[in-house]
Structure 1
Amino acid sequence: MIFKVFYQETIDEVPVREKTKTLYIEAESERDVRRKLQDRHINIEYIQPLEGAHLAYEQQNPDFHVLEIEQ
């Protein structure tokens, strides 16, 4: 399944909406997403599963690239 992860680049600062970034990752579950990203030291705000029409919509975005991390 593909997940959209909303995050801040640093864990030391208070989250600011304007600095929120996103990435797409393939994983089995939300827990798996967190496990795969644990060594990146980012502040994960929200993990959203993507499927169906929502996934198709996100795939139209030119910035849509699925991060593949094997663990």
Structure 2
Amino acid sequence: MIFKVLYQEHAGEVPVRENTHSLYLEASNEREVRRLLKDRGINIEFVQQLDGDHLAYEKQSEDFKVENV
């Protein structure tokens, strides 16, 4: 499954929409996503599973790139 992760660059940073970044990651569930990213020191705001039409829409974005962790 592909997940979209919305996050802040620093773990102590308060979520502000203008500073929110996103990345795409392949994992079996949300728990695995959080485990894979725990050493990055980021503040994970939201983890969203992408499938069907939503995944197709995200793939159209020039920023769509699934990361290897």
TM range (shorter): over 0.9
Superposition pairs of residues 21-60 of structure 1, within 5 angstroms: 21-60=21-60
TM-score by length of structure 2 reads: 0.96
8 Å contact kept, 2:2–2:50: yes
Number of residues paired by the alignment? 69
Q: Which runs of 4+ in 1 moved over 3 A?
A: none
TM-score by length of structure 1 reads: 0.93
Q: Provide structure 2 residue ranges, at least 5 long, that are not aligned to the other structure.
A: none
Residues of 2 paired with 1:9 and 1:16: CA distance? Answer: 11
Q: Provide structure 1 residue ranges, at least 5 long, that are not aligned to the other structure.
A: none
Residues of 1 paired with 2:54 and 2:37: CA distance? Answer: 23
Residue 20 in 1 paired to residue 31 in 2?
A: no
Letter in 1 for 2:37: L
Over the aligned positions, Cα root-mean-square deviation in angstroms equals 0.6
Residues of 2 paired with 1:29 and 1:66: CA distance? Answer: 15
Q: What are the Cα deviations for residues 8-61 of structure 1, in whole angstroms up to 9, with x where unaligned?
A: 001122111110000000000000000000110100000000000100000000
Residue 62 in 1 paired to residue 62 in 2?
A: yes
